[in-house]
Amino acid sequence: MKKEGIIALGWTVLAFCIGIFLVVRESSSNVQSIFYGRLPEFHLIDTQGQDFNYNDIIGKIWVVQFSNDPLADFPELPSGVEALTILTNSSQIKMKHSNSKIVHSDKGSIFQLGMEGFHLSEKLLEEGHSIPFILVDKTGNIRGYYQPDKDKDIKKLSRDIDSLLQFS
């Protein structure tokens, strides 16, 4: 075989290996190594008027969404994972069925928690829609952000939840 043929074959094998690596990396979940910060202490109120705080988060996996809609939809979540809607507008509290725990507080406290605790922008919180789902592990660590209107993100959320459930 000529030298040029061997070099071309080498480049082809290298490109193939890089392609396989990228596909495997995209499809696998390494959520255990991702850390966006730990949630701070907080106190909110649920729709029954009961206190909901940091200690209620600990020991469970949560998918959290800040929303101005108390009936915001969550993807189907497996057993062992809780859904939490933090209302950005407490005047929207409704006592209708929801597939999530709904909590609220005054706007200042919600925005402070959203910006300092969950690392969301004030602009995003003001808009109150297109706010990402936030995955929180059993120890109160933020493990990921997922756009609710992007199928790719919802699939990744599902894989990351499965990974957290497997290792917890």
50-70 tens-digit pLDDT: 999 999 999 999 999 998 776
What confidence score (pLDDT) does residue 27 get? Answer: 47
All structural domains of the chain with their residue ranges: 1-32, 34-166
Rg value, the chain, Cα: 20
What confidence score (pLDDT) does residue 63 get? Answer: 95
Bridge-based pairing of strands 61-67 and 141-146 is: unpaired
Count how many Cα atoms sit within 13 Å of the Cα of residue 110 in the half-sphere of its side chain.
Answer: 21
β-pair partners for 134? 64, 145
pLDDT over threshold 90, residue 130 = no
Amino acid at 31: V
CATH of domain 34-166: 3.40.30.10
Across the chain, the runs of DSSP E, i.e. the strands, are: 37-38, 43-46, 51-53, 61-67, 81-87, 101-104, 133-136, 141-146
pLDDT tier at 89 (50, 70, 90 boundaries)? Answer: confident
Q: Is 70 helix (H, G, I), strand (E, B) or coil?
A: coil
pLDDT over threshold 80, residue 85 = yes
pLDDT tier at 25 (50, 70, 90 boundaries)? Answer: very low
pLDDT tier at 168 (50, 70, 90 boundaries)? Answer: low
pLDDT tier at 47 (50, 70, 90 boundaries)? Answer: confident
pLDDT tier at 91 (50, 70, 90 boundaries)? Answer: low
pLDDT over threshold 80, residue 18 = no
| From 31-40, 138-147, 148-157, the region with the lowest mean pLDDT | 31-40
- On whether the CB atoms of residues 143 and 35 are closer than 8 A, the answer is yes
Q: What is the pTM of this model?
A: 0.78
- Among 159, 168, 165, which residue's Cα sits nearest to residue 30? 159
Q: How far apart are CA 45 and CA 48, in angstroms?
A: 8
